[in-house]
């Protein structure tokens, strides 16, 4: 009888500890979604007065097909004073010929090139630097050769971040989405892109900017030069967007624009191998973020993993009441997650997600962790 009593007491205490711990991590997760992931409704901005001139800079490396498909959307924007500068980053296809054709037909189209003898780790950073130096205007708007703006008001919407934010705004972050296909990979990429986008936009809105994407990013030319451009980042293959933003932004000089017209769309990777390579390249620069950014970003996947670990532990070791409470807490988090993600996706014109969000929720942090561990192990092998 005494042994049964102690077993019941231990079982009850363990159940309380498990439920209590689960409650804490669910509270953090709910707070995180409502504080950083929830995207407030953004409407197209009515801008009064004179609009500042802007230089749109595009880097192109073997992009003949994408230039044929998307360059005209940049050259037909409803904006009074802008130029498009395309930097040929050592292309070996018909990119140069296409750029020459567009330049002859469009008065605000210019093109330049990266010298073929250039030997640097990241020629894109060199290409962007050449584009910035060639720009005639004080405001710079970056996108990629495979990007299509949502509408002819894209430049106007992105520039509204500077105009409405005041003179202190130096960087404007936009959202870059991927075209959607009816495949599992496309759905996973859409969710991953949406979550990352909501995260960096939400944190910037909360005063903690840490990254942007080169598909849709604007900053002042003076900001580029006073921060010495990409100096200190040239040894990294990536980082022309997120590391630069991480270096130059703060809570006062950064604005976000997330109206439907401000979005750009790109074709997603079509094979798992290509997507893994893209994911690995993006994650390779994350260790170089500021310590505060890494801490803020690291807590979320840890508490997310703890939600599932504690839920499983409660179902294995807890009593019936603990199981019911744990399941209720998990359902609460799931409902809030679905509401926040899908409302934001609708506002950005993306796809809606159902119960598959649970699989993505568990899978994506594991993929990122595996890539980071593999990269560190590979670097250690090279060192030895």
The pLDDT score that the predictor gives to residue 272 is: 92
Q: What are φ and ψ of residue 371, in 5° steps?
A: -65, -45
Kindly state the average pLDDT of the residues 106-117: 84
Taking the CB of residue 287, how many other CB atoms lie within 10 A of it? 10
Average pLDDT, the chain: 87
0.85 exceeded by pTM: yes
Whether the CB-CB separation of 76 and 152 falls below 8 Å is answered with: yes
Contacts of 42 by beta carbon, 8 Å cutoff, 6+ apart: 257, 258, 259, 260, 262, 347
The pLDDT score that the predictor gives to residue 31 is: 94
Q: How far is CA 94 from the centre of its chain?
A: 30
Q: What is the pLDDT of residues 3-14, one digit of tens each?
A: 443 334 345 578
pLDDT exceeds cutoff 80 at 381 = no
Pairing between β-strand 139-144 and β-strand 217-220 as defined by DSSP bridges: antiparallel
Q: What is the pLDDT of residues 246-296, one digit of tens each?
A: 899 998 999 999 899 999 999 999 999 999 988 888 888 887 788 888 888
pLDDT exceeds cutoff 80 at 375 = no
The pLDDT score that the predictor gives to residue 10 is: 40
Kindly state the average pLDDT of the residues 355-371: 91
Whether the CB-CB separation of 111 and 68 falls below 8 Å is answered with: no
Q: What is the pLDDT of residues 88-109, one digit of tens each?
A: 988 888 898 999 999 998 888 9
Q: Would you call 161 helix, strand, or coil by DSSP?
A: helix
Nearest alpha carbon to residue 34 among 202, 190, 173? 202
Residues of the chain with CATH 3.90.550.10: 54-271
**Top mean-pLDDT range of 1-10, 91-100, 109-118, 213-222:** 213-222
Apex 39 CA angle, 270 and 252, nearest 5: 110
CATH of domain 54-271: 3.90.550.10
Higher pLDDT, 119 or 304: 304
pLDDT exceeds cutoff 60 at 380 = no
Q: Facing residues of 60 across strands?
A: 88
- Report H helices in the chain: 2-32, 64-75, 95-105, 123-134, 154-165, 184-205, 221-226, 242-248, 272-283, 291-317, 320-347, 356-383
Q: What is the pLDDT of residues 20-54, one digit of tens each?
A: 999 999 999 999 999 999 887 666 666 656 789 99
The pLDDT score that the predictor gives to residue 7 is: 37
Q: What is the pLDDT of residues 69-86, one digit of tens each?
A: 999 999 999 999 999 999
């Amino acid at each position: 009888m005494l042994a049964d009593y102690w077993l019941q007491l231990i079982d009850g205490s363990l159940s309380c500890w498990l439920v209590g711990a689960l409650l804490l991590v669910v509270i953090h997760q709910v707070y995180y979604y409502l504080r950083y992931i929830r995207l407030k409704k953004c409407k197209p901005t009515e801008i009064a007065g004179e609009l500042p001139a802007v230089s749109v800079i595009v880097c192109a490396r073997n992009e003949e097909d994408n230039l044929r498909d998307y360059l005209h959307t940049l050259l037909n924007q409803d904006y009074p004073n802008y130029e498009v500068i395309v930097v040929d980053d050592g292309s070996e296809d018909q990119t140069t010929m296409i750029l020459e054709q567009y330049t002859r037909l469009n008065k605000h189209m210019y093109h330049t090139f990266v010298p073929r003898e250039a030997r640097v780790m990241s020629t894109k950073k060199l290409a962007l630097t050449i584009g910035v130096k060639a720009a005639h205007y004080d405001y710079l708007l970056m996108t990629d050769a495979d990007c299509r703006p949502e509408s002819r008001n894209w430049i106007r919407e992105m520039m509204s971040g500077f105009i409405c934010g005041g003179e202190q705004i130096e960087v404007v972050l936009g959202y870059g989405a991927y075209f959607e296909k009816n495949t599992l990979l496309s759905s996973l990429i859409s969710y991953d892109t949406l979550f990352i986008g909501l995260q960096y936009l939400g944190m910037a809105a909360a005063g903690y900017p840490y990254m942007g994407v080169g598909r849709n990013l604007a900053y002042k030319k003076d900001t580029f030069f006073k921060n010495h451009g990409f100096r200190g980042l040239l040894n990294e293959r990536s980082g022309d967007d997120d590391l630069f933003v991480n270096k130059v932004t703060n809570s006062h000089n950064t604005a976000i624009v997330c109206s439907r017209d401000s979005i750009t769309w790109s074709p997603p990777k079509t094979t798992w191998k290509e997507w893994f390579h893209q994911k690995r390249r993006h994650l390779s620069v994350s260790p170089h973020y500021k310590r505060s950014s890494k801490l803020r970003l690291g807590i979320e996947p840890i508490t997310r993993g703890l939600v599932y670990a504690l839920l499983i532990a409660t179902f294995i070791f807890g009593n019936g009441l603990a199981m019911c409470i744990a399941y209720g807490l998990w359902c609460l988090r799931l409902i809030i997650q679905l509401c926040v993600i899908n409302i934001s996706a609708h506002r950005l014109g993306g796809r809606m997600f159902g119960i598959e969000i649970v699989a993505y929720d568990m899978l994506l942090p594991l993929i990122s962790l595996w890539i980071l561990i593999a990269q560190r192990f590979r670097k250690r092998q090279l060192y030895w």
